Structure 1
Amino acid sequence: MRILVPLHSFEPGGVERVALRLAAAWAPAGSQPHIVLGRSDGIARSAAPPLAYDVLERGAISTAAFETLWMIARLPGRIRATRPDVLFCAGNSYAVVGAVVKLLLGRRCPPIVLKVSNDLARADLHPLVRPFYRQWLRLQGRLIDRFVGLAEPMRDEIARAMRVAPDRIAIVDNPVLSRAELDRLAAQRDAIERSGAGRRFLAVGRLVPQKRFDLLLGAFARIGRAGDRLAILGDGPERARLETLAQTLGIWDRVDLPGHVEPVGPWLVGSDCFVLSSDYEGVPAVLVEALAAAVPIVTTDCGVSIRSLLDDGRLGSIVPVRDEAALAAAMDAAPAARPAEARARAARFTVERGAAEYLGLFRAVTLAASQPMCGSAEPAASLARQQ
């Protein structure tokens, strides 16, 4: 099984991190993951698994500013040369790559599997943009062969938004952690000694508008007491604006912005509350890690899977998106942790389990593609579960 995975770079992101972890798990199982990188830079490079990387960028000119166009221009040649059995697009941001490659290659294009990594409703979009966005989703439904949701509630969302039949949608719980990492987080959290020197709030993610760290800073300013601290792990184009906002709110001396940190486990286990303030998400990897560490969670209702993941609020507080007052109140109330239940929920999201399910799905997809005239095959989602 030859699996081609296009990734833009080693810039940190949950989509890229999970894709590389899956590839590292596929190789020992006898498959041949082929990672095609638009460029080889990115601060997460040192933590990447030891795989063979096919880098498209050559020379001194960076392709970062036009990375999607660069991937679209170069990927068809790699597909013709390597003839993979399946093309795996690891997140929503790679959907345009898969769709255009399909149009360019036609019947010569391998089956495309797209992991839907983010919420599809996108209520944050301007009303004038939404009709075009909906049409784009339907176009994906016509061009992409199979879709993968990260949790069961995403099945109906994908079917409605992209107008695809249920047998073209598989559900694979987002493979965020290895079993060893799951056990290590639990052990570290149980062993840590709590101190009374203020509350420690933690958030993790790229410093981009989607994450709404401005909302988080405002919420912390409302309820933060002397000795309380807020750490936001990540980097991105919003850094300067967030630093200025923290100074304006008078909380700069209690906010830490250390940049990209790997791993986040030591920060999680030392926190009193993990906060997710996003406008939209799929099944955030760091939210699963917070469950594994049994850290109290406060999150916005930023995706169809959030309530299912947190057992409709039993495993964390859920507040409306863009509601600073509600976010602040939930942070101040310190939701209770349920260690046994939280860790049991996180155990569904292991790389070992997810890698096997993806391979089962890929086999089903390639089998269906090789028998186009033999009637309908057994639904890919069902086949994937049986592997």
Structure 2
Amino acid sequence: MMVEVMRRVEPGSDPASAVTNGSLRVLYVFPGPAEGSAMIFARKQVEAMRGLGVVPETFALESRTDLACVSRESKRLRRCIASFCPDLIHAQYGTVTACLAGLMTMVPLVITFRGSDLNPAPSDPWLRSAVRRGLSQYAARKAARMICVSQELKRRLWWRRDRALVLPSGVDTDVFVPRPQPQARAELGWGATERIVLFNAGLSPAVKRLDLAQAAVRKAEQLCGPIRLQLLDGLVPQAMVATMMNGADCLLLTSDWEGSPTIVQEAMACNLPVLSVEVGDVRERLAAVTPSGIVGRDPTQIARALAELLARPARSNGRDSIAVVAQDHIARQTLAVYHEALGRRDGC
């Protein structure tokens, strides 16, 4: 097995009229650095919202674990809110990110829960994982509306589920488009006859269960010959990811926990077959997609399904099912959530 890694509405104006006249001001609060590929799908959403007339501003929360840094960041966030005067704040993650956004102002808060903010994280110490989830549940009480990227995540909310809408992250269908596999492979320097399996290890390979994927690929090699397991590390630019999806034979997903894995929807947009364990909303996404499949969390079972898929390589019909998660469609539904949030400024 060969493994490779590719690395302003003025203050005091009526918010409802702001939505109507297209001048709604939204502050988007992100976890992590201001630059880079992290949370790229959420940053893309901001641009889609701009296209619908929203006036956006972004705030990157540099640290969520260093208390001194969090204190400094809270002051910076307060200054940003005072300067920008948002009608609404949209926290793009739970935990400390959503808590700070909810505590800094009385402006209506929308939170998008994306996965590890509500899901357990076996790779993290138990206390850290519990604190993360507790902060997310506390933040939910402050939210006017919430978005959960999967039904599974919504079920994890302790309260106010009636304020939560299940809405996956949107996919940029202008970036993720089907292309001829030989052309993509030539650009990447991949062999024309190689069996290539794409795996998103992200920034937390243990949660993504890279070990299970590797074990399954080793067993699959015994059935069908050499396989290149091509890893994504969460830092690869979107355009390159799209090229790799068009060059690969399938996407393999073995995660312990997911919300709504955007990587699956991106693969669908490129007509790349997906082989996945039961996690997040993958079964719903792949219901009409072929060839693709759901398998058990057993390396032997995964290997057999993988070898069978690689023995008869073909592109999927995934793009036929992508409209419901296309970025512009998700953006319009998100704007409707903003309408609802602005109608409940009393926090009741």
Amino acid at match of 2:308: A
Q: Which residue of 2 aligns with 1:293?
A: 270
Q: Which residue of 1 aligns with 2:231?
A: 232
Where do residues 214-363 of structure 1 align in structure 2 (5 Å cutoff)?
214-224=211-221, 226-234=225-233, 260-263=236-239, 264-303=241-280, 305-311=281-287, 316-321=292-297, 323-334=298-309, 339-340=316-317, 342-363=318-339
Q: Report if the CA contact (8 A) 1:307-1:313 is conserved.
A: no
Deviation at 1:79, TM superposition (A): 1.5
TM-score by length of 2: 0.76
Indicate which of 119, 122, 125 corresponds to 1:124. 122
> Does 2:175 align with 1:181?
yes
Q: Which residue of 1 aligns with 2:99?
A: 99
Q: Name the SS for the 1:368 alignment partner.
A: coil
Compute the RMSD of aligned alpha carbons: 3.4
Unpaired segments ≥5 residues, structure 2: 1-23
Distance 1:78 1:193 in 2: 45
> Does 2:197 align with 1:201?
yes
Distance 1:192 1:80 in 2: 48
Indicate which of 82, 90, 93 corresponds to 2:92. 90
Q: Report if the CA contact (8 A) 2:175-2:238 is conserved.
A: no
Distance 1:346 1:232 in 2: 24
Report how many residues are paired.
309
Deviation at 1:132, TM superposition (A): 5.9
Runs of 4+, deviation exceeding 4 Å: 67-70, 125-137, 189-196, 312-315, 335-338
Amino acid at match of 1:5: Y
Amino acid at match of 2:74: I
Deviation at 1:138, TM superposition (A): 3.5
Distance 1:227 1:128 in 2: 39
Q: Report if the CA contact (8 A) 1:4-1:87 is conserved.
A: yes
**Larger RCO of the pair (alpha carbons < 8 Å, separation 6+):** 2
Deviation at 1:268, TM superposition (A): 0.7
Distance 1:312 1:302, change over 3 A: farther
> Does 2:10 align with 1:34?
no
Deviation at 1:275, TM superposition (A): 0.7
Q: Report if the CA contact (8 A) 1:189-1:294 is conserved.
A: no
Distance 1:218 1:72, change over 3 A: farther
Distance 1:192 1:127, change over 3 A: closer
- Bigger fraction of residues in helix: 1
Q: Which residue of 2 aligns with 1:43?
A: none
Q: Report if the CA contact (8 A) 1:134-1:161 is conserved.
A: no
Q: Report if the CA contact (8 A) 2:274-2:292 is conserved.
A: yes
Distance 1:69 1:329 in 2: 52
Distance 1:211 1:160 in 2: 20
Distance 1:211 1:131 in 2: 19
Amino acid at match of 1:186: P
Identity of aligned residues (%): 20
Distance 2:170 2:59 in 1: 21
Q: Which residue of 1 aligns with 2:165?
A: 170
Deviation at 1:17, TM superposition (A): 1.0
Unpaired segments ≥5 residues, structure 1: 40-62, 236-258, 377-387
* Deviation per residue, 1:157-195 (Å, 9 max, x gap): 4255332142x01233321223x335xx22445987998
Q: Name the SS for the 2:279 alignment partner.
A: coil
Distance 1:121 1:313, change over 3 A: farther
* Deviation per residue, 1:72-102 (Å, 9 max, x gap): 342122213322111111134xx32222342
